[in-house]
Chain A
Amino acid sequence: MQSQQAERLDGGKARHVALPVESRAIRAWARRWGINAGLLFILPALLIYAAVVLYPLLSMFYLSLFSWDGLSPDKSYIGLANFQQLAADPLFFVTLRNAGIWIVFDVGLSLVIGLALALLVNQRLRGTMFFRTLYFLPTTVSVIVVGQIWGWIYQGDVGALNNYLGLLGLGSLRQAWLGDPNLAIYSAVAVALWSGVGFQMMVYLAGLQTIPGEILEAAQVDGATSWQRLRTVTLPLLLPQTVTLTILGIIGTLSQFTLIYVLTKGGPAYQSELPSLFVFDQAFTLSQQGYASAIAVVIFAISLIVTVIQLRLYRRYQGY
Chain B
Amino acid sequence: MRRKTFLTSGLSAAAAVSVPGLTSSITNVLAREASAKTTISWWGWGDPPVNSAVTGLPNQHNSPNDAVKVFYEKSHPGVTIDTTVYNYPDYVTALKTSFAGGNAPDTVELEPGPLVSKYASYMQPLDGLAAKRWGPNWKDQFYPLAISQTLAADPLHKSMFALPVGLECGTGLYYNTAIFSKYNLKPPQSYAELKAIADILNGHGIIPISWGAKDGWPNFDWLRMLVEQTAPGVWDSALQGKAKFTHPGFVQALQILVRMQKDRIFSSSIWGTTAYPEAITLFQSGKAAMYNSGTWDLAGFAAPTTKIRNTLGVMPLPPMGQGLQKGRLWATTNMMTAISKSAKNVQAAFDFIAWQADAGQKASWVDKSGFLPSRKGMAPQPQPNAHYQAIEAYFLKEISHAVVRYGAQLTADLQKATEDAIANVSTLGMDPLRALNAVQAAHDKSVKR
**Nearest-neighbor residue (CB-CB) of B121 within chain A:** A72
Q: Tell me whether A284 and B92 are in contact (CB under 8 A).
A: yes
With A152-B54, A157-B282, A285-B92 known to touch, is A268 a contact of B99 (CB < 8 Å)? no
Q: Interface residues of A toward B: which range?
A: 20 to 34
Nearest CB in chain A: distance from B243 CB, A: 24
Q: Tell me whether A179 and B416 are in contact (CB under 8 A).
A: no
**Nearest-neighbor residue (CB-CB) of B423 within chain A:** A269
Q: Tell me whether A264 and B272 are in contact (CB under 8 A).
A: yes
CB contacts (< 8 Å) of B89 on chain A: these are 265
Q: Tell me whether B282 and A158 are in contact (CB under 8 A).
A: yes
24 contacts between A and B (CB under 8 A): A69-B118, A70-B100, A71-B99, A152-B53, A152-B54, A155-B272, A156-B273, A157-B282, A158-B282, A178-B214, A179-B214, A179-B269, A179-B272, A181-B427, A265-B89, A267-B423, A268-B214, A269-B423, A269-B424, A270-B423, A284-B92, A285-B416, A286-B413, A287-B412
Q: Tell me whether B214 and A267 are in contact (CB under 8 A).
A: yes
B130 part of interface (Cβ distance < 8 Å)? no
CB contacts (< 8 Å) of A267 on chain B: these are 214, 271, 423, 427
**Nearest-neighbor residue (CB-CB) of A159 within chain B:** B54
Nearest CB in chain B: distance from A37 CB, A: 38
With A155-B278, A269-B420 known to touch, is A287 a contact of B118 (CB < 8 Å)? yes
Q: Tell me whether B278 and A71 are in contact (CB under 8 A).
A: no
CB contacts (< 8 Å) of B55 on chain A: these are 158
Query: What per-residue 1/0 map shows which CB atoms of A169-181 lie under 8 Å from chain B?
Result: 0000000111111
A271 part of interface (Cβ distance < 8 Å)? yes
> Which residues A245-271 have CB closer than 8 A to chain B?
264-265, 267-271
Query: What per-residue 1/0 map shows which CB atoms of B408-449 lie under 8 Å from chain A?
Result: 000011001000100110111000000000000000000000
CB contacts (< 8 Å) of A265 on chain B: these are 89, 214-215
CB contacts (< 8 Å) of B267 on chain A: these are 156-157
B9 part of interface (Cβ distance < 8 Å)? no
**Nearest-neighbor residue (CB-CB) of B415 within chain A:** A285
Q: Tell me whether B54 and A178 are in contact (CB under 8 A).
A: no
With A178-B272, A179-B273, A265-B214 known to touch, is A155 a contact of B423 (CB < 8 Å)? no
With A152-B54, A176-B268 known to touch, is A284 a contact of B96 (CB < 8 Å)? yes
Q: Tell me whether A156 and B424 are in contact (CB under 8 A).
A: no
Q: Tell me whether A156 and B272 are in contact (CB under 8 A).
A: yes
CB contacts (< 8 Å) of B215 on chain A: these are 265
CB contacts (< 8 Å) of B268 on chain A: these are 156, 176, 179
CB contacts (< 8 Å) of B412 on chain A: these are 285-287
What is the interface of chain A, defined by CB distance below 8 A to chain B?
A: 69-72, 152, 154-159, 176-181, 184, 264-265, 267-271, 281, 284-287
Q: Tell me whether B287 and A264 are in contact (CB under 8 A).
A: no
Q: In the complex the two chains form, what is the Cα distance from A55 to B426 in whole Å?
A: 43
* Central interface residue in A184, A268, A271, by most chain B CB within 10 Å: A268
**Nearest-neighbor residue (CB-CB) of A187 within chain B:** B272
Q: Tell me whether A181 and B271 are in contact (CB under 8 A).
A: yes
What is the interface of chain B, defined by CB distance below 8 A to chain A?
A: 51, 53-55, 89, 92-93, 96, 99-100, 118-119, 121-122, 207, 213-215, 267-273, 278, 282, 287, 412-413, 416, 420, 423-424, 426-428
Q: Tell me whether A158 and B54 are in contact (CB under 8 A).
A: yes
With A176-B269, A176-B271, A267-B271 known to touch, is A158 a contact of B287 (CB < 8 Å)? yes
With A157-B207, A158-B282, A269-B427 known to touch, is A184 a contact of B272 (CB < 8 Å)? yes
CB contacts (< 8 Å) of A269 on chain B: these are 420, 423-424, 426-428
Nearest CB in chain A: distance from B434 CB, A: 12
Q: In the complex the two chains form, what is the Cα distance from A264 to B215 in whole Å?
A: 10
CB contacts (< 8 Å) of A72 on chain B: these are 121
CB contacts (< 8 Å) of B121 on chain A: these are 72
If A155-B269, A178-B272, A269-B424 are given as contacts, then 16 extra A-B residue pairs at C-beta distance below 8 Å, sorted by A number, are A69-B118, A70-B100, A71-B99, A152-B53, A152-B54, A176-B268, A176-B270, A179-B268, A180-B272, A181-B428, A267-B271, A268-B423, A268-B427, A271-B428, A286-B412, A287-B96
CB contacts (< 8 Å) of A71 on chain B: these are 96, 99-100, 118-119, 122
Q: Tell me whether A177 and B424 are in contact (CB under 8 A).
A: no
**Nearest-neighbor residue (CB-CB) of A162 within chain B:** B269
**Nearest-neighbor residue (CB-CB) of A70 within chain B:** B100
CB contacts (< 8 Å) of A287 on chain B: these are 96, 118, 412
Q: In the complex the two chains form, what is the Cα distance from A180 to B271 in whole Å?
A: 7
Q: Tell me whether A157 and B423 are in contact (CB under 8 A).
A: no
CB contacts (< 8 Å) of A284 on chain B: these are 92-93, 96
CB contacts (< 8 Å) of B118 on chain A: these are 69, 71, 287
Q: Tell me whether A156 and B51 are in contact (CB under 8 A).
A: no
Q: Tell me whether A157 and B287 are in contact (CB under 8 A).
A: yes
**Nearest-neighbor residue (CB-CB) of B267 within chain A:** A157
CB contacts (< 8 Å) of A154 on chain B: these are 272
Nearest CB in chain B: distance from A315 CB, A: 42
Nearest CB in chain A: distance from B100 CB, A: 6
Q: Tell me whether B51 and A152 are in contact (CB under 8 A).
A: yes
**Nearest-neighbor residue (CB-CB) of B425 within chain A:** A269
Q: In the complex the two chains form, what is the Cα distance from A98 to B269 in whole Å?
A: 21
